[in-house]
Amino acid sequence: MNYFSDVLILVLLFGLYGYSHSLLASFRFKTFIKSKFGKYIAFYRLTYNILVFIGLYLIWEFGPHPSLLIYELNYPYDLIVFGLQLLSLVGVFWCFKYISFREFLGLAQIDRFLKNEYDENELDEKMTFRIEGPYKFSRHPVYLFSILFLLFRAEMNLFYLTMFVSFVAYFYIGSVYEEKKLVKVFGDDYIKYQKRVSRIFPVRIFSGKSELKFNKEL
């Protein structure tokens, strides 16, 4: 089997997926949608999440599957890795303690629209800036724990390894574009936060002072 071509096709597919994801998430595209549909942009976030899921499913299901085995852990190491994976999943839920999961999915926006309370200037979400919990150690802890969840695996083949590396690159590049929007919204406060807290992996020790202990909503 030609593993190189399989990996190359997967990377190209994931690159196209990431590009379309970033385009659909951009301020410019959302502003265009708002200009065409007004307050109906309240449905954009949920639609966007559905499209993201479908795109990922198509790559996972119909992309090449190079089956070369990289490693396979036996008992008890497989249980240890499974335990670490569960802990990383707990970490994801920890993150959502400090941000609205319904807002993240796009359900809160639809609820506000149905109550005639939606502000179309929010575009597709009401952006929040909180420095609490895991956000004291990582600017994108959801990405961090998602990476750990994908990493802790008892069996690794070339297909999964390629997807894992693609996800890590996708999360990092996505965070760069996301932070450009956050700087526009929150200005100097977010720039200070960037200087004190690591992007994804908590390689810097958080030394937060009182001026960073705030909660903003827009």
- What local confidence, expressed as pLDDT, does residue 82 receive? 95
**Residue 208, pLDDT above cutoff 80:** no
d(CA 165, CA 11): 9
- What local confidence, expressed as pLDDT, does residue 50 receive? 94
Q: What is the mean pLDDT of residues 117-142?
A: 88
- What local confidence, expressed as pLDDT, does residue 215 receive? 46
Contacts (Cβ under 8 Å, ≥6 apart) of 111: 102
Percent of the chain having pLDDT more than 90? 68
Average pLDDT over the chain, rounded to an integer: 89
Instruction: Indicate the pTM of the whole model.
Output: 0.87
The residue extents of the domains of the chain are 3-217
**Residue 205, pLDDT above cutoff 70:** no
Residue given tokens 């406060």 in the structure block: 189
Spell out the alpha helix ranges (H) of 96-156: 101-105, 107-114, 141-151
**Residue 94, pLDDT above cutoff 50:** yes
Query: 128 - beta bridge partners?
Result: 217
**Residue 16, pLDDT above cutoff 80:** yes
d(CA 62, CA 59): 6
Residue-wise pLDDT tens digits, 133-145:
999 999 999 999 9
- What local confidence, expressed as pLDDT, does residue 122 receive? 83
Q: What is the mean pLDDT of residues 3-15?
A: 94
